[in-house]
Amino acid sequence: MSDSHGNTPAAWTGVSVAMLGFVVGGVALMQDPVSMSLFWIGCAIGVGSLVVFAVMAKMGLNSSDH
């Protein structure tokens, strides 16, 4: 593994957006009654993090040369 494995702007942003999705989904599951619409929004944010990462990687932000 390289020294810069995971230490790129694309990786950090993708993980941050995914974490936001998990937090939103987790908060939705703790409500009484469970808010399934908010849960699915959290799932969509989590899937969106993959898109954010892919776009940023295509923009060249997936290398440690910055």
Q: According to the model, what pLDDT value does residue 1 have?
A: 52
Tally of CB atoms within 10 A around 21: 19
Annotated domain spans of the chain: 9-58
User: What is the per-residue pLDDT for 19?
Assistant: 98
Peptide bond into 33 cis (omega under 30): yes
Tell which wins on pLDDT, 41 or 6: 41
> What is the pTM for the complete model shown?
0.84
pLDDT at residue 5 greater than cutoff 80: no
Residues 31-66: tens digit of each pLDDT: 999 999 999 999 999 999 999 999 999 999 987 664
